[in-house]
Amino acid sequence: MARASDLFKGDNPDARVKEVKSWLKSKGVRDFEPVSLFSDQLTKAAVGEIEKIADSVNPNTTAAFKKAIVKNIPRHAVLKPSHAIYRLQNQHFELGDRVTMVQDSGGVPLAIKGVVIGLNSTSMDVVWDVPFMSGVTLGDRCSQYRGSTVSFNSCLNLTTPQFVAPTNPKSKPLPPPNHPFKPRFGPHPAIQPPPGQAAAAGFRPA
């Protein structure tokens, strides 16, 4: 751990450190929201606005579900929750996308809807329309019981539909996306050296 004398030279380096802390506090720098270099996420203020809109659209969260009978739907147009991990491969997402949970084996209730507020390398952060028991605050970015981190193949993208099946039994299902979704975040060099060639900068052994 660095000491005050390592940063400031003089008779009283501890006093200089206290002055710096006071200056940072007066400028509000200490209140900045910590953000990882290896993720892309919305601000806490934006997440709060999303929650307000969701609460206004769904004021009565305790209403009972209405049963409906749907006929003449082909089998390939129905997504079984246990098949989502296999069928929803290579699905792409962006911040602000509207999604719905299609798996019934996790902590998020089935068919609940939410908004993507963060993208990680192998998962995404979602703030859901209604609270549930296993929900978290996602590092104090959303309200209690409203957020969770889920895998890409556990949700269906409603903003940009990529798995659309025709309801006509004679029609063939559309091909799923073939390009894998691999979001890349963090500091990366703009120009990569050729394979087998050392980087232009950095430490090189003698």
pLDDT of residue 87: 87
Q: By mean pLDDT, which of 44-53, 76-85, 187-196 is the weakest?
A: 187-196
Q: Is 22 domain-assigned?
A: no
> Which residue has better confidence, 198 or 7?
7
CATH of the domain at 177: 2.30.30.750
Rounded (5°) CA angle 93-99-104 = 115
String of DSSP letters for 168-191: -TTSPPPPPP-S------S---SS
Q: Give domain status of residue 28, yes or no.
A: no
Predicted pLDDT of residue 70: 81
Q: What is the pLDDT of residue 204?
A: 47
| Whether residue 25 has pLDDT greater than 50 | yes
pLDDT of residue 60: 64
pLDDT at 136: 95
Is 160 contained in some domain?
yes
Per-residue 3-state assignment (H helix, E strand, C coil) for 71-83: CCCCHHHCCCHHH
The number of folded domains in the chain is: 1
Q: Are 142 and 51 in contact (CB under 8 A)?
A: yes
pLDDT (mean) for 1-6: 74
Bigger pLDDT: 170 vs 12:
12
In-domain check, residue 204: no
Structure tokens at 113: 């809807």
Residue 205 has pLDDT above 50, yes or no: no
Cα–Cα dist 153/87, whole Å: 8
42-56, 93-107, 183-197: segment of lowest average pLDDT: 183-197
- Report yes or no on 206 lying in a domain: no
Confidence label for 203 from pLDDT (cuts 50, 70 and 90): very low
pLDDT digits (tens, 9 = 90+) for 107-135: 999 999 999 999 988 899 999 999 999 99
Report d(CA 37, CA 12) in Å as an integer.
35
Mean pLDDT of 26-43: 75
Residue 10 placed within a domain: no
> Does residue 164 lie within any of the structural domains?
yes
Residues 38-76: tens digit of each pLDDT: 778 898 999 999 999 999 987 665 556 678 888 888 787
Per the structure, the complete domain to which residue 46 belongs is given by 36-59+73-185
Domain contains 106: yes
Q: 2-6, 18-22, 122-126 — which one is most confidently predicted on average?
A: 122-126
